[in-house]
């Protein structure tokens, strides 16, 4: 579990993320923060 957490942390840093929650939709479309959940849903609906 610790190795998985470290790998996920390294990935988010490499992709430019800076906190949690951070969501990626469609590869590079990044959303940060709980208040962005609506935007994440809209982006996912667009495909």
d(C-alpha 35, C-alpha 21), whole Å: 10
Residue 25, pLDDT score: 94
User: Is the whole-model pTM more than 0.85?
Assistant: no
Residue 18, pLDDT score: 84
Residue 43, pLDDT score: 95
For 47, the token pair is 């495909």
Cα 40-41-44 angle, rounded to 5 deg = 85
Condensed to tens digits (0 to 9), the pLDDT of residues 7-47 reads 999 999 999 988 889 999 998 899 998 889 999 999 999 97
Residue 24, pLDDT score: 92
């Amino acid at each position: 579990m610790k190795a998985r957490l470290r790998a996920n942390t390294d990935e988010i840093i490499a992709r430019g993320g800076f906190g949690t929650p951070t969501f990626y939709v469609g590869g590079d479309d990044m959303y940060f923060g709980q208040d962005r959940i609506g935007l994440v849903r809209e982006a996912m609906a667009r495909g």
